[in-house]
Amino acid sequence: MKTVITYGTFDLFHIGHVRLLHRLRSLGDRLVVGCSTDDFNEAKGKKSVMPFEHRAEILGACRHVDKVFPEASWDQKVEDIRRERADIFAMGDDWAGRFDDLSAHCEVVYVPRTKDVSSTEIRQLVHALHQERTRELRQSVQHVLDLVERL
């Protein structure tokens, strides 16, 4: 039984996350995922849109994922690798080199990120759509007010 372990925020779950989890699952027989808690995200300088409970539940519902546990600090990985008897630690290659020290405990693998999609870009897109909608509503209200004025 080959176990793969990975970590992440997985906010606004998207195709980049699905492809990554699918690839990591195919490296072994079991994939366990450390989902960053909201407090740890703050330590990472990230603010997720979705709370930890939702992000963890969505991860758990993904067929490529066998287990989800909280990631509350940078320092828990060695203990997690031991507890889960992980054979491979794997991340997207935006982290390439960052966790090479874990090679003392298991194989370390970085896989290519999915291009042109990120939680940040999705958040920015939703914000832009909201602003556009607000602008359209304002124009409609102004149009009605102009018509009323002419009555």
* Active site residues per annotation: 44, 46
By CB under 6 A, tell whether 20 contacts ligand C2G: yes
Question: Among 4-12, 79-87, 126-134, 137-145, which window interacts with ligand C2G (CB under 6 A)?
Answer: 4-12
CB of 98 to ligand C2G, least distance (A): 8
Structure tokens at 30: 């079991």
Using DSSP's 3-state secondary structure scheme, residue 117 falls into coil
Q: How far apart are CA 105 and CA 101, in angstroms?
A: 8
Residue 96: exposed, middle, or buried by beta-carbon count in 10 A (0-12, 13-18, 19+)? Answer: middle
Among 10, 13, 52, 89, binds ligand C2G (CB under 6 A): 10
By CB under 6 A, tell whether 71 contacts ligand C2G: yes
By CB under 6 A, tell whether 76 contacts ligand C2G: no
117-136 footprint of ligand C2G as x/- string (CB under 6 A): xx------------------
CA 59, 74, 101 angle in degrees (round to 5)? 105
- CB contact set of 2 (below 8 Å; sequence gap of 6+): 27, 28, 29, 30, 87, 88
Binding footprint of ligand C2G on the chain (CB under 6 A):
7-10, 16-17, 20, 36, 46, 71, 91-92, 94-95, 113-114, 117-118
